[in-house]
A = this chain, B = another copy of it.
């Protein structure tokens, strides 16, 4: 994969915060409340598979996903890849105390982000307790997610991992009238997120389909047909 620098023509930048605020209507979680951070947010768009930043890039910006899905990943020297997280709308990423980013961020689907200049965030953290609180909460939120994922990778079977993954996405995805929701990422992305191979992921999809636990419509649309039973599997 060759590294291309992402440049964005000015026209893709609506007025500060405008789009971000528009998108805030559908937001639920505590860290997602309208906050003064949005005053300094700049909206950006990235296309499917476009890199948002690379390992080693200066961590000069923090981000929030407004629409679409972002993957954060790390790669070993020999090419093995681990997806650290999929970042969903209204969630933040790229917050760091390091000078440089330690993982890569890419758009899984076409994505709309809000970008915050780190320098300005740092200033606000000092001047506004509410922003300090927000940044702490954002980071704690990530921490909690990673802890869950750590248990998943360390102690769960392939089937449990995929089921947990599907239930997690079902929770936040919009389900259509027939119960289907979108799974925008590839089988490779799923495998690299769950610490498996694409073949194993594919086989377990087939097994779940055979057992009538799920239905598939193409490879990117799923419907859970026995969410209760599936939930039992993972606790």
Residues of A that sit less than 8 Å from B by CB: 30, 74, 76-77, 80-82, 84, 95-98, 102-103, 125-127, 129, 132-133, 135-137, 139-144, 146-147, 149-151, 153-156, 192, 194-195, 235
Contact = CB atoms under 8 A, between A and B. Distances in A.
Contacts of A95: 140
A141 to B, nearest CB: 7
A13 to B, nearest CB: 28
A52 to B, nearest CB: 17
Contact of A141 (B97, B103, B146, B195): B97
Q: Of residues A136, A146, A154, which shows the largest number of chain B Cβ atoms within 10 Å of its Cβ? A: A154
20 contacts: A74-B147, A74-B151, A76-B155, A82-B150, A82-B155, A95-B140, A102-B147, A103-B147, A125-B129, A125-B132, A125-B133, A126-B133, A139-B140, A142-B143, A146-B147, A149-B150, A150-B153, A153-B153, A154-B192, A154-B195
Given A102-B144, A103-B147, A82 B154 contact: yes
Copies of this chain per assembly? 2
Majority SS at the chain A contact face? helix
Nearest to A153: B153
Contact of A195 (B125, B132, B155): B155
Given A97-B136, A132-B136, A139-B136, A150 B146 contact: yes
Contacts of A140: 95-98, 139
Given A77-B235, A146-B150, 9 more contacts: A76-B235, A81-B155, A97-B141, A125-B133, A125-B136, A139-B143, A150-B150, A150-B153, A153-B153
Contact of A154 (B77, B141, B153): B153
A168 to B, nearest CB: 16
A126 B126 CA distance: 9
Highest count of chain B CB atoms <10 Å: which of A76, A96, A143: A143
Nearest to A132: B132
A144 B98 contact: yes
Nearest to A127: B129
Contacts of A147: 74, 84, 102-103, 146
